[in-house]
C-alpha cells in the first residue's frame, strides 16, 4: 500500500504541474458547486481538467494540453466530438430558430420511424424524453402500471441512471457485494422491493423468478453491461430471461442506452434475435444532444395514455422532450450510421481489438497482469469498448463482481492511478479505458498503446522494485 501511495503522490504532483489553470478553475467551481461540478465521473482526484475545446478524437484543457479522449461524451459520440457532419446539417435549423417551442414537430416523427424501423419489429411505440435516467424511471413505471405489481428485478452492477427505482445493487460493497441501496433519500420500502440477481448467471435468475416471479413488475438489464464491466450477456442468459418473463407475466426491459446503435445500426436485441417488452435508448440517438426514449410493445406503452390496472402512468417526457434541434441531430447521426453500417462498425471494432491486445502486451512485458474486457462474443461481430482490469490472479472475466470486487481486481489501480498516469501521457480514459469513435486514427491507437506502455514501466518502477 505504501508503494501505491508513493506512486499516486508522484503522479499527482506531475499532474498538478501540468494543469495549473484547471486547478484554479476547480477551486473557483468548488465555491459554487458541490464537489466542483455536476457528475461524479467527471470529477476525478485530485481535480478534473477544465475543457476549452473538443474535436474528433481529442479534447483540449485550459492549460493547452491536448488529450486523446476515449470517454467521448459518456460513450455518446460514436463519430467523435462535434462531428462536422452533424454541425453542418444542424446549422440551417439553428439559423432559422431551433430553440425550444413546446410543440410537436415532424422531426420527432422521422426519428421515431427511423428507430422503430431499425429494430424491425411490428407493433412498437416510442416516447421521447431527455435523459436515460428519465427513460428508465418511466419504463419501470409503465411496467408497474401495466402489471399492477411493484417488485423490480435488476442485475448487480447494472446502472440505469439515478432513477429512484433502480439505485440498489449498483456499487460493489466489500463483504456485501451488489446487495445494498446506493443512495440516501429513498423510502426504505423501495429498497425492499428491488431484488438483485447476478448478471449472466442463469441458475440464479431461475431461482429469483421461482421466489419472486409472481410479484415482479419487470426485469431490467443491459444486454451489454456498461459500468458493470463491459461484458456481453450470453445468448442463453437472455433467452432464459425472455422465457421466464413470459412464464411469470413480467415485463422484460432491455436498457440499450449504451448498446443501442453502438455495435450495429440497431439494438443488441436485433443481433441476439430476442425481443424485450420495453427498451431504453439514449446517448447515441441524440447525435450529441439530450435525447432518450422508451420503445416497446404497444399495449404496455399505452399504459401512459389509457388506464392500466393501476390507472394511467404519467409518463410526460418533460418540458424539453422531443426538442426539435436535439432530434434533428439524432436523426443525422442515425441516418449516417444506417448508411455507413458496413464501414463504421468493423473499423472501430478492429481498432479497438488492436488497442486491447496492445495494452495487454504492454503490461505483460513489465510482468503486470492485465485483462481487457469489452471484447465481442459469438453474437456481436465487433466491439469498440475496452476496459483495463488488473486481476489479482488469473481467471476469466464473466461477472461484474470480477471487475469490481477488490479481492479479484485492483480497482484503485484501474480507477484512480491508471487514470492519472494516462493523463500525464495525454490520454483520457474512464474505468481504465472507454470506447472508440470513427474519429480515432490508426496513428492515435499506436500512440495510445505507447502511452499505456509508458504507464506500465512507471507502475513496474514504483510497485515492483
Ligand X SMILES: Cc1ncc(COP(=O)(O)O)c(C=O)c1O
Binding stretches for ligand X (CB under 6 A): 74, 131-133, 136, 159-161, 222, 226, 255, 257-258, 282, 292
Closer by beta carbon to ligand X, 232 or else 459: 232
Q: How far is the CB of 41 from ligand X (least distance, A)?
A: 8
* Paired residues of 154 in beta bridges: 196, 220
For 165, which DSSP code?
G
Which helix (DSSP H) or strand (DSSP E) does residue 85 occupy? helix 84-96
Closer by beta carbon to ligand X, 61 or else 256: 256
Tell me the C-alpha distance between 164 and 282, whole Å.
Answer: 18
Tell me the C-alpha distance between 286 and 57, whole Å.
Answer: 19
* Paired residues of 255 in beta bridges: 280
Q: Dig out the grid coordinates for 327 from the structure.
A: 432530434
3-state secondary structure of 269: helix
Q: How far is the CB of 132 from ligand X (least distance, A)?
A: 2
Cell 443491459 belongs to residue: 222
Question: Which are the contacts of 339, defined by CB distance < 8 A and separation ≥ 6?
Answer: none
3-state secondary structure of 52: strand
Closer by beta carbon to ligand X, 131 or else 321: 131
Quote the longest CA-to-CA distance of the chain.
68
Tell me the C-alpha distance between 346 and 369, whole Å.
Answer: 28
Q: How far is the CB of 160 from ligand X (least distance, A)?
A: 4
| Secondary structure (H, E, C), 300-368 | HHHHHCCCECCECCCCCCCCCCCCHHHHHHHHHHHHHHHHCHHHHHHHHHHHHHHHHHHHHHHHHHCCC
Q: How far is the CB of 157 from ligand X (least distance, A)?
A: 11
Closer by beta carbon to ligand X, 326 or else 459: 326
Q: How far is the CB of 77 from ligand X (least distance, A)?
A: 13
Q: How far is the CB of 394 from ligand X (least distance, A)?
A: 29
Q: How far is the CB of 2 from ligand X (least distance, A)?
A: 35
Cell 430476442 belongs to residue: 274
Q: How far is the CB of 161 from ligand X (least distance, A)?
A: 3
Residue 11: other Cβ atoms inside 10 A: 23
Closer by beta carbon to ligand X, 132 or else 374: 132
Closer by beta carbon to ligand X, 11 or else 322: 322
Closer by beta carbon to ligand X, 170 or else 455: 170
Closer by beta carbon to ligand X, 65 or else 77: 77
Cell 471484447 belongs to residue: 375
Closest CA to 79 of 334, 446, 260, 277: 334
Residue 25: other Cβ atoms inside 10 A: 19
Q: Given phi > 0 = left and psi -120 to 50 = alpha, else beta, which region is 280?
A: beta
Closer by beta carbon to ligand X, 226 or else 288: 226
Q: How far is the CB of 84 from ligand X (least distance, A)?
A: 24
Closer by beta carbon to ligand X, 56 or else 158: 158
- The residue nearest ligand X at its CB is 132
Q: How far is the CB of 114 from ligand X (least distance, A)?
A: 20
Amino acid at each position: 500500500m505504501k508503494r501505491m501511495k508513493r506512486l499516486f503522490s508522484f503522479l499527482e504532483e506531475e499532474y498538478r504541474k501540468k494543469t495549473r489553470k484547471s486547478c484554479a478553475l476547480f477551486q473557483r467551481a468548488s465555491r459554487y458547486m458541490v464537489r466542483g461540478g455536476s457528475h461524479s465521473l467527471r470529477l476525478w482526484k485530485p481535480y478534473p481538467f477544465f475543457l476549452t475545446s473538443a474535436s474528433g478524437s481529442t479534447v483540449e484543457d485550459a492549460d493547452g494540453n491536448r488529450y486523446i479522449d476515449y470517454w467521448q461524451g459518456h460513450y455518446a459520440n460514436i463519430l467523435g466530438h462535434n462531428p462536422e457532419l452533424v454541425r453542418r446539417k444542424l446549422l440551417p435549423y439553428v439559423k432559422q430558430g431551433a430553440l425550444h417551442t413546446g410543440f410537436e414537430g415532424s422531426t420527432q416523427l422521422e426519428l421515431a420511424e427511423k428507430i422503430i424501423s431499425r429494430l424491425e419489429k411490428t407493433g412498437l411505440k416510442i416516447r421521447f424524453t431527455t435523459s436515460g435516467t428519465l427513460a428508465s424511471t418511466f419504463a419501470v413505471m409503465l411496467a408497474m402500471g401495466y402489471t399492477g405489481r411493484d417488485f423490480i428485478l435488476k442485475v448487480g452492477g447494472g446502472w440505469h441512471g439515478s432513477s429512484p427505482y433502480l439505485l440498489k445493487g449498483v456499487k460493489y460493497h466489500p463483504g456485501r457485494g451488489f446487495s445494498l441501496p446506493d443512495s440516501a433519500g429513498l423510502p426504505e420500502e423501495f429498497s425492499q422491493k428491488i431484488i438483485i440477481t447476478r448478471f449472466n448467471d442463469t441458475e440464479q435468475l431461475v431461482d429469483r423468478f421461482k421466489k419472486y416471479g409472481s410479484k415482479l413488475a419487470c426485469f431490467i438489464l443491459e444486454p451489454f453491461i456498461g459500468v458493470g464491466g463491459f461484458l456481453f450477456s450470453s445468448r442463453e442468459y437472455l433467452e432464459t430471461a425472455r422465457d421466464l418473463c413470459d412464464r411469470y407475466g413480467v415485463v422484460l426491459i432491455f436498457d440499450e442506452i449504451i448498446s443501442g446503435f453502438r455495435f450495429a445500426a440497431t439494438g443488441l436485441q436485433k443481433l441476439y434475435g430476442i425481443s424485450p417488452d420495453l427498451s431504453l435508448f439514449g446517448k447515441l440517438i441524440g447525435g450529441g444532444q439530450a435525447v432518450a426514449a422508451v420503445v416497446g410493445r404497444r399495449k404496455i406503452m399505452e399504459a401512459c395514455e389509457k388506464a392500466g390496472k393501476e390507472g394511467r402512468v404519467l409518463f410526460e417526457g418533460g418540458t424539453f422532450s422531443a426538442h426539435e434541434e436535439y432530434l434533428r441531430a439524432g436523426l443525422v447521426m442515425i441516418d449516417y450510421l444506417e448508411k455507413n453500417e458496413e464501414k463504421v462498425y468493423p473499423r472501430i471494432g478492429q481498432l479497438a481489438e488492436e488497442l486491447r491486445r496492445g495494452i495487454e502486451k504492454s503490461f505483460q512485458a513489465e510482468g503486470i497482469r492485465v485483462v481487457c474486457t469489452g471484447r465481442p462474443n459469438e453474437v456481436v461481430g465487433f466491439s469498440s469498448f475496452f476496459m483495463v482490469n488488473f486481476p489479482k490472479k488469473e481467471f476469466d472475466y464473466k461477472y461484474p463482481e470480477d471487475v469490481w470486487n477488490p479481492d479479484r481486481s485492483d480497482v484503485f489501480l484501474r480507477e484512480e492511478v491508471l487514470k492519472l498516469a494516462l493523463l500525464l501521457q495525454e490520454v483520457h480514459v474512464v474505468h481504465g479505458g472507454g470506447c472508440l469513435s470513427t474519429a480515432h486514427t490508426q496513428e492515435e491507437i499506436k500512440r495510445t498503446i505507447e502511452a499505456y506502455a509508458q504507464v506500465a514501466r512507471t507502475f513496474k518502477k514504483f510497485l515492483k522494485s
